[in-house]
Structure 1
């Protein structure tokens, strides 16, 4: 009887429940290939909150792009998504993705979407989630900053879209995790597919090395341009 009471005392007083918050900060370097040959420095801040049936994810990225030693782009990218669990594996989601830039071909590029998600599996070693839903896309071109290597047509886009997303995270070892994510947004003006492959190796409990390869595909591009661009980055990841 005494051992049972002792266990209950540990559970109630000595073991703190896990925090609903998870925060990450990244700093790194990127090398671009495809339609551009350049280098950049980047930073990223992300947070996740999980409580009961609710899950909220937010991410902000900021980077400076240099060509021939001069600043060529300064851009902010942000994502916000809220989920509400409907059943054991299904959930409803709403998301907002966009970026603002002074130098790039688009002043603004916003995508809103809402729909249903499904968790095919959710364990400590493997997480697979898929999402599908309708939405809306708005893009305002920066006509003064369009270069020959920009994947853009000089028209303002305001259209209905369909968004699909698939995310996979596999943790084969305690300190190593592999992730991949595919996001497709299709509308009458264009179809864009973003893919990301990442490797995270924990150095300490609070610091990790993260290698990321991003690929962006457009089914329609101006004449003479590649349909695919890729970005490789090596970042230091700080966990809080």
Structure 2
């Protein structure tokens, strides 16, 4: 009989917002310096008919000082099968914002994926443009962003399988990026979040969506249900244009 061991941990420090609304003038945009961070760990072990183990780590931080806001995230995933590395992937995200007025701001962002075993060795996206906060209160946050950018993708020709959404060409092209982010604190213990990111380029158009429900069981423990979906306008013949993942995590807050 197979046995599965699962461990999921999270660490989180204080939460803050970027210039909560609604100041009447630009002179009221002064926000105290603030630092927030979050760390998550996940581990699975399978023994019996299948012998494998996987590790995933997520580190996220945000720093706000006056009109500036900078946030970054690093995710790492590794899977070993029968004592050998089968998958390893790192995801990076970094964005910096500068507040122009009560609702508008400039942004610059970078997102990247490095992998040895997936369809792409590297998948990098840079973008810069304007952001606008429709609302930013303790209960509701809605931000819109749009701007031009650049995409670089290097396919892993040795790892391309029949079910990979990838074309065997190196991609270097200008893109247009748009993003919508929303967070709603429905109740003190219940929060809904959504993030939609669109990358449009000549080679392909990709839409990433992430929907989350976070329920605080106690002051220190929260249950998170997350559904992510990836959609491509162009895929190899016979493949679906959409892929979805549903996950349930237990987070410990400190």
Q: TM-score per shorter chain, which class?
A: 0.7 to 0.9
Q: How many residues align?
A: 216
Q: Is the 8 A contact 1:25 1:237 kept in 2?
A: no
Does residue 78 in structure 1 map to residue 92 in structure 2? yes
Q: What is residue 27 of structure 1 aligned with on the other side?
A: 41
Asked if the contact 1:78–1:99 (Cα under 8 Å) also holds between the matched residues in 2, the reply is yes
- Which residue of structure 1 lines up, in the alignment, with residue 203 of structure 2? 189
Q: Which of residues 217, 220, 230 in structure 2 aligns to 1:203?
A: 217
| Partner residue, 2:145 | 131
Residues 29, 233 of structure 1: 8 Å contact kept:
no
**Which residue is 1:214 aligned to?**
228
Contact 1:27 1:236 in 2 (8 A): no
* 1:226 corresponding residue in structure 2: 240
Residues 28, 233 of structure 1: 8 Å contact kept:
no
Aligned equivalents of 2:152 and 2:67: distance in 1?
31
**Which structure dedicates a bigger proportion of its chain to helix?**
1
Q: 1:19 to 1:86 in 2, by over 3 A?
A: closer
* RMSD between superposed Cα atoms in Å: 2.4
1:179-228 alpha-carbon deviations (Å, 9 max, x no partner): 00100000000000000000112234444222111000000000111100
Matched, 1:52 2:52: no
Pairwise CA distance, 1:69: 10
How do 1:60-209 and structure 2 match up within 5 A? 60-65=74-79, 72-209=86-223
1:177 and 1:133 mapped to 2: Cα distance? 29
Residues 59 and 172 (structure 1 numbering): CA distance in 2 closer, same or farther, change over 3 Å? same
Higher relative contact order (CA 8 A, sep 6+): 1
Give unpaired runs (5+ residues) of structure 2: 1-30, 45-52
- Contact preservation (8 Å) 2:223, 2:250: yes
TM-score normalised to structure 1 length: 0.83
Superposition misfits of 4+ residues, deviation over 4 angstroms? 65-71
Distance 1:239 1:205 in 2: 7
Displacement after TM superposition at 1:235 (Å)? 2.1
Q: Tell me the distance in 2 between the aligned counterparts of 1:238 and 1:19.
A: 25
Kept after mapping to 2: 8 A contact 1:57/1:81: yes
Q: Secondary structure at the match of 2:141?
A: strand
